[in-house]
Amino acid sequence: MTLTVGSVLLGLTRGCRLRRQHLCLSFLTFLVLQVAAASAEVVTRASLDAIWDEHMLAGSSVRFFWEASGPQMRTPANLGFPVTPNTLVEAASLNRRGIEIQWLREGFWRNGGWVVRGGLLDSVQMGDAILELYGKSTTRRAPYFPVRLDPWLPETTEYEFFLLQRLGSPCALTLRTWRFGSEDVDAVPVSSGQKRPRGVMGRMTSDAPARSIAVIITGLKQPFSESTALSERSSSNQAPKERYSPSLKPVPEPCQ
């Protein structure tokens, strides 16, 4: 149930009317102020995605999170682990090109929101270009009461994969994007009504003579492998002006 100023007032003023105690009224005021403050600041998923795009296309590492004092950024965010294929998407946030973004300030207890983690999973040199595969997990965590018998938090996770090309420019071009909802992920039960991904990973294989890249993603309910042919346009030495994906309209590169 979502707590609002109205719902808190409705539930607690009834008790205060019965008791007429100053302590009860003070506690009510405190709760109302807390709910109002919690609902005043909202960071949307679109804002987190924009931060992700900026650092992914620039090839930089970052850890971005919000505290009571406001947004905080640490760069680099990783532990310096090397980039290796078949790494869990979430674990890629710890490598040299890792990205982690957290906003967990939603709800009365300030613990709901979004967690975005991932990074570079694999890279292949093809001619003068470097093809890169990024994996991104986006977890939606519902606000919850801090004292819980169930250690598993109420959350769901979806995944995105990005095929990038870097050629003569620090800013990458997005060639393809794949999205998988929580219903597509192979998950295991961890508690009553809660499931967690078994482990989603990604890698690439290349066919140099055919100038094609195959992206292989495991950890889904159905096996996934898809090839992408590199066109002359994407292999040109001209700096990319727009990025394309099957489900997104062209938008300006944020790192230019």
Note the pLDDT tens digit of each residue in 135-148: 999 999 999 888 88
Q: What is the predicted pLDDT for the residue at 78? A: 56
Q: What is the predicted pLDDT for the residue at 166? A: 93
For the chain, the domain total comes to 2
* 8 in the same domain as 58: no
* 185 in the same domain as 152: yes
* 169 in the same domain as 55: yes
Of 81, 76, 84, nearest to 95 by C-alpha is: 81
**For residue 161, what are its two tokens?**
């994969």
* 148 in the same domain as 117: yes
Peptide bond into 151 cis (omega under 30): no
Q: What is the predicted pLDDT for the residue at 77? A: 53
Q: Give the distance, in angstroms, between the CA of residue 3 and the centroid of all CA atoms in the same chain.
A: 25
Q: What is the predicted pLDDT for the residue at 238? A: 40
* 49 in the same domain as 157: yes
* pLDDT, tens digit (0-9, with 9 covering 90-100), for 201-239: 999 999 988 889 999 999 999 999 999 988 754 544 343
8 Å CB contact between 164 and 175: yes
Query: What predicted TM-score, i.e. pTM, was given to this entire model?
Result: 0.75
Of 80, 92, 161, 139, nearest to 120 by C-alpha is: 92
* 21 in the same domain as 46: no
How does DSSP classify residue 236? S
* 95 in the same domain as 18: no
Burial group, residue 24, by CB count within 10 angstroms (0-12, 13-18, 19+): middle
* 100 in the same domain as 165: yes
Q: What is the predicted pLDDT for the residue at 132? A: 96
* 185 in the same domain as 111: yes
Q: What is the predicted pLDDT for the residue at 17? A: 45
Q: For the chain, which ranges sit under pLDDT 50?
A: 1-40, 233, 235-253
* 187 in the same domain as 223: yes
Range of the domain at 33: 1-40
Q: Give the distance, in angstroms, between the CA of residue 49 and the centroid of all CA atoms in the same chain.
A: 7
* 111 in the same domain as 237: yes
* 144 in the same domain as 32: no
Query: H helices within the chain, ranges in order?
Result: 5-19, 22-40, 45-58
Q: What is the predicted pLDDT for the residue at 18? A: 42
How does DSSP classify residue 75? S
8 Å CB contact between 152 and 178: no
